[in-house]
Amino acid sequence: MKTTITLITFLLFTTTCLLAQQDKFIEDSIERLENSRKYLLLVADMMPEEKYGYKATEESLSFAENLMHIGFALDWHSQSLLGDRKARVYQTDTVFKPANKTKAEMMARIDQTFTEAIALLQDVSPEQLDTELDYFGLTRSERQICMLLADHITHHRGQMLVYMRLNGLTPPRYVLYQ
């Protein structure tokens, strides 16, 4: 009997610890998105609007296209993969295309998209993080989607920082954990 009680206690403790770690993952992901939003909006604000069309090479995305691509991917990964909304089609979507949008409109759209993604993450259960999805022919968990999303934001924001330098601007100081 004593062995059974010890085993049950151990299993309950282990389960509680695992759930707490997964809750912490969600909290950490939200914190990272909040910090990433602040930094990305600062970068977007520092680039003069007349430079939003700048491209490093002909085949590159422009500064504005990188910004809006971040928004599209954030929306798609969060709302369509983690949420249950039908995916937008990049080729036909107009919400995240920079055409006919001012700098202020693009920044507002990005800010709103971060708000929506963070709200969705706040409702994700720890168990949901283990759900596996088809991701371009690969099997990925929702936890991996959260990590991939952060990498994607960093990748395109890094291109935007280079564009700032190529236009004689000093990007804002990097702040850790974003």
Annotated binding site for a divalent metal cation, which residues?
A: 69, 152, 156
Q: How far are the Cα atoms of 63, 84, 112, 135 from residue 138, in angstroms, in the given order? A: 30, 19, 29, 5
Q: How far are the Cα atoms of 61, 77, 97, 99, 131 from residue 94, in angstroms, in the given order? A: 16, 17, 5, 8, 30
Mention every residue, 6+ apart, whose C-beta is less than 8 A from residue 133.
81, 139, 140, 141, 142, 145
Using CA atoms, how far apart are residues 111 and 43, in angstroms rounded to an integer? 13
Q: How many CB atoms sit inside 10 A of residue 81's CB?
A: 20
Specify binding-site residues: 69, 152, 156
Q: Are 70 and 110 in contact (CB under 8 A)?
A: yes
Looking at the DSSP assignment, which residues form a beta bridge with residue 134? 139
Q: How many CB atoms sit inside 10 A of residue 79's CB?
A: 18
Q: Are 75 and 113 in contact (CB under 8 A)?
A: yes
